[in-house]
């Protein structure tokens, strides 16, 4: 604390005190001075009056007569008596001639030694040519000056008072000078001054000390006590109440502080309780979230005869409501579905769990997907006190024929994927499940040719928002899917995930992102193969992903490329397809074409000696036979079928 109130009060009081003392000293001095001046004047006037009487009585002319010593001595004796009785230093009578020269008549002094000196030194007949001073001029004119006149000469320092002596005819016959010792006069002034100033000063100092003591006791100490209590405030311990009973503002502060610290303790206790409750609730929510996402795999990939399915769900920070499900029905139909539950939090999680199990159970048991969804809707409407709902798109695909039956319950329209093109499907919108008892969802049918697919997604994809507050949007999704050059479900899902990630660019993901891609590989898992060299790209990717990590991967690609290039360049085919199947560490690749009947395996192999004709061809077949652990060719239904088996 740099500036305490105590120090400030002391400083303020000291300044006030000094100023007061200075003011009272100035006043006291001026009053003592004027009192002394008045005293001098009164004494001078009295002395002059008495002296005038003496001069009148003895007669000035007789006194000034050099022959009449008696009158002179008598007058001087009388003057000395006056001088002594009035404590004057000198009392003298003199005349002033026309040349302003003083002619002394007589001078008396109180002090005996001085009197001896001035009896002759300033006696009858002595003159002084000192210039006349103001008092003398005023006195010569018959008046009396108010101003003090100080003389400092060989007779000492005196304060002079000059009065005229009038003759009987009223003219100024002589001047009477009364001198008071300046020393005496000053002593008197000082004495007067002290008498006036000292008691005031002493009173002020005592008053200040008393006041300061009271301030300290009543204000500063209680303030310190309150401040110390505030500094040491610890919400966890309860202090004894402050013992300030001053019934004033300080006690008001102390009481307010006591109340406030009590309130703070209460608030802290409340906050601790609330925080504990929140932690508990959050832990519960986390458990709900784990259970919920445990029901939906983060990623899923299934490649089977005729189908290539990949699913992905990336949950948002809070519990969202997306889910997808992919499963094979006992009748060989494959179901892929995607859904978005309206609510979030625990309610959403519970509703999602209920819906997911219900939907799977109904689709397993109803032949028709719309029947299944309508039945789910009836159940949800009957058991839905919170009025929650779920949008859902379900498709049942026959892997052998590529026939798809789908049912839409108010979900985003899926995208139909063909090689090099993509378009939004236009299913009947339907209505979200759980809202109205008669949803009347209808089944629609279409067929996927080999290599065609469907991409299902939730609005977490199209309504992803980036830092510039723009939506990812359906257009962007479509443009992305149009650039896909592979009929590979995992590639499609990964492309969407990476594109949305790039779009977010560090922004927080607010909603679950869920994508499911289903490609029909055609009956028996065959995929159509365009007869251009660049069509081998997807085949190569497919082989590489099937034998991921195998040291033989590139050799297998090499053998397949050679076989494919032979078809494109020499077979004169118009249609071709392929299928890839992995069983254990064996990879089977089957290539079919409707070109000229040709058995590549029966061709005689070129020998190494034919090096210089190698640039004419023949190497490819040599590679196929070297790399494949088993190779078969047959000609069935107008098609060459080359089956290559590789060991990974």
Partner 1 sequence: MTIEKIEENGAVTLKLAGWLDTQAAALLEEQIEALDAGTPSLVLDLAALEYTSSAGLRQIVAAHKKVDGQLTLKNVQPEIRDVLEMAGFLKRLHVVS
At closest approach, how far in Å is the CB of 554 from partner 1?
5
Select from 194-202, 228-236, 467-475, 606-614 the region that touches partner 1 (CB under 8 A): 606-614
536 lines the binding site for partner 1 (CB under 8 A): yes
Task: Out of 583, 612, 636, 638, name the contact with partner 1 by CB under 8 A.
Answer: 612
Task: Out of 617, 629, 630, 635, name the contact with partner 1 by CB under 8 A.
Answer: 617
For residue 502 the two structure tokens come to 């790039």
Q: With CB under 8 A as the rule, give the number of residues binding partner 1.
A: 24
Q: Distance between CA atoms of 260 and 239, rounded to whole angstroms?
A: 13
Containing 536, the helix (H) or strand (E) segment is helix 536-546
- Spell out the residues 6+ positions from residue 96 whose beta carbon is closer than 8 angstroms to its own: 102, 103, 132, 136, 140, 175
Nearer to partner 1, 234 or 615 (CB): 615
Residues from 320 through 359 that contact partner 1 (CB under 8 A): none
At closest approach, how far in Å is the CB of 558 from partner 1?
6
Nearer to partner 1, 265 or 555 (CB): 555
622 lines the binding site for partner 1 (CB under 8 A): yes
Task: Out of 133, 221, 476, 555, name the contact with partner 1 by CB under 8 A.
Answer: 555
Cα 437 versus chain centre, distance: 53
Task: Out of 534, 548, 583, 637, name the contact with partner 1 by CB under 8 A.
Answer: 534
557 lines the binding site for partner 1 (CB under 8 A): yes
Strand-strand pairing, 102-109 and 127-128: antiparallel
619 lines the binding site for partner 1 (CB under 8 A): yes
Say if residues 427 and 406 touch (Cβ distance below 8 Å).
Answer: yes
Nearer to partner 1, 413 or 618 (CB): 618
Task: Out of 554, 581, 582, 639, name the contact with partner 1 by CB under 8 A.
Answer: 554
601 lines the binding site for partner 1 (CB under 8 A): no
Containing 178, the helix (H) or strand (E) segment is strand 172-181
Task: Out of 576, 620, 628, 642, name the contact with partner 1 by CB under 8 A.
Answer: 620
Q: Distance between CA atoms of 298 and 371, rounded to whole angstroms?
A: 29
548 lines the binding site for partner 1 (CB under 8 A): no
C-alpha distance from residue 361 to each of 325, 353, 393, 561 (Å): 12, 12, 16, 45
At closest approach, how far in Å is the CB of 626 from partner 1?
5
Nearer to partner 1, 133 or 625 (CB): 625
Task: Out of 245, 502, 611, 637, name the contact with partner 1 by CB under 8 A.
Answer: 611
Strand-strand pairing, 322-328 and 307-314: unpaired
Task: Out of 565, 586, 596, 601, name the contact with partner 1 by CB under 8 A.
Answer: 565
Select from 171-179, 462-470, 479-487, 611-619 the region that touches partner 1 (CB under 8 A): 611-619
Nearer to partner 1, 40 or 566 (CB): 566
Strand partners, 405: 396, 445
Which three-class secondary structure string do you get for 341-379?
A: ECCCHHHHHHHHHHHHHHHHHHHHHCCCHHHHHHHHHHH
At closest approach, how far in Å is the CB of 593 from partner 1?
16
Which three-class secondary structure string do you get for 224-286?
A: HHHHHHHHCCCCCCCCCCCCCCCCCHHHHHHHHHHHHHHHHHHHHHHHHHHHHHHHHHHHHHH
For 622, phi then psi, to 5°, come to -60, -45
Task: Out of 562, 577, 590, 593, name the contact with partner 1 by CB under 8 A.
Answer: 562
97 lines the binding site for partner 1 (CB under 8 A): no
- Spell out the residues 6+ positions from residue 501 whose beta carbon is closer than 8 angstroms to its own: none
Binding site for partner 1 (CB under 8 A): 533-534, 536, 554-555, 557-558, 561-562, 565, 607-608, 611-612, 614-617, 619-620, 622-623, 626-627
């Amino acid at each position: 604390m740099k500036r305490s109130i105590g120090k400030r009060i002391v400083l303020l009081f000291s300044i006030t005190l000094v100023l007061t003392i200075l003011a009272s000293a100035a006043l006291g001095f001026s009053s003592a001075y004027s009192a002394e001046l008045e005293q001098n004047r009164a004494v001078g006037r009295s002395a002059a009056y008495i002296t005038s009487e003496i001069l009148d009585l003895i007669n000035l002319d007789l006194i000034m007569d050099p022959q009449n010593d008696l009158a002179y001595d008598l007058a001087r004796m009388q003057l000395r008596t006056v001088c002594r009785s009035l404590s004057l230093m000198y009392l003298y009578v003199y005349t002033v001639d026309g040349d302003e020269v003083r002619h002394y008549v007589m001078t008396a002094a109180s002090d005996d030694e001085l009197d001896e000196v001035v009896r002759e030194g300033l006696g009858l007949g002595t003159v002084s040519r000192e210039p006349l001073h103001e008092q003398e001029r005023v006195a010569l004119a018959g008046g009396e000056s108010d101003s003090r006149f100080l003389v400092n000469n060989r007779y000492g320092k005196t304060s002079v008072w000059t009065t005229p002596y009038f003759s009987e005819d009223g003219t100024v016959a002589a001047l009477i000078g009364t001198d008071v010792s300046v020393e005496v006069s000053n002593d008197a002034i000082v004495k007067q001054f002290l008498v006036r100033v000292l008691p005031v000063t002493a009173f002020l100092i005592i008053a200040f000390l008393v006041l300061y003591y009271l301030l300290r006791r009543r204000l500063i100490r209680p303030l310190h006590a309150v401040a110390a209590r505030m500094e040491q405030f610890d919400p966890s311990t309860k202090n004894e109440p402050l013992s300030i009973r001053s019934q004033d503002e300080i006690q008001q502060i102390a009481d307010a502080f006591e109340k406030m610290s009590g309130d703070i303790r209460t608030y802290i206790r409340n906050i601790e309780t609330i925080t504990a409750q929140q932690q508990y609730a959050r832990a519960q929510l986390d458990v709900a979230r784990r259970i919920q996402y445990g029901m939906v795999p983060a990623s899923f990939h299934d490649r089977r005869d005729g189908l290539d399915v990949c699913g992905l769900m990336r949950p948002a920070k809070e519990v969202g409501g997306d889910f997808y499900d992919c499963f094979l029905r006992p009748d060989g139909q494959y179901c892929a579905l995607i859904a978005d539950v309206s609510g979030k939090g625990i309610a959403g999680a519970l509703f999602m769990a209920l819906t997911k199990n219900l939907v799977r159970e109904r689709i397993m048991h109803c032949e028709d997907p719309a029947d299944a969804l309508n039945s789910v809707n009836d159940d949800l409407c009957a058991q839905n006190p919170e009025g929650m709902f779920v949008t859902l798109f379900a498709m049942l695909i026959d892997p052998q024929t590529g026939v798809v039956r789908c049912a839409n319950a108010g979900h985003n329209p899926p995208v139909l994927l063909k090689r090099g093109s993509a378009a939004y499907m236009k299913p009947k919108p339907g209505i979200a499940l759980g809202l109205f008892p008669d949803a009347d969802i209808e089944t629609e049918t279409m067929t996927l040719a080999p290599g065609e697919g469907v991409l299902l997604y939730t609005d977490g994809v199209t309504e992803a928002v980036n830092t510039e507050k723009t939506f990812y949007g359906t257009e962007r999704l479509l443009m992305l899917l149009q650039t896909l050059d592979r009929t590979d479900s995992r590639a499609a899902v990964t492309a969407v995930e990476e594109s949305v990630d790039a779009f977010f660019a560090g922004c927080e993901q607010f909603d679950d992102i869920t994508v499911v891609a289903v490609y029909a590989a055609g009956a028996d898992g065959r995929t159509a193969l365009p007869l251009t060299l660049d069509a081998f790209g997807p085949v190569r990717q497919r082989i590489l992903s099937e034998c991921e990590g195998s040291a033989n991967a590139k050799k297998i690609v090499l053998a397949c490329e050679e076989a494919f290039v032979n078809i494109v360049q020499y077979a004169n085919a118009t249609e071709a397809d392929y299928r890839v199947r992995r069983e254990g560490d064996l990879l089977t690749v089957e290539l079919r074409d409707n070109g000229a009947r040709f058995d590549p395996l029966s061709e005689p192999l070129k020998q190494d000696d034919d090096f210089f004709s190698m640039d004419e061809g023949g190497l490819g077949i040599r590679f196929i036979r070297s790399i494949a652990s088993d190779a078969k060719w047959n000609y069935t239904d107008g098609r060459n079928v080359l089956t290559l088996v590789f060991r990974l």
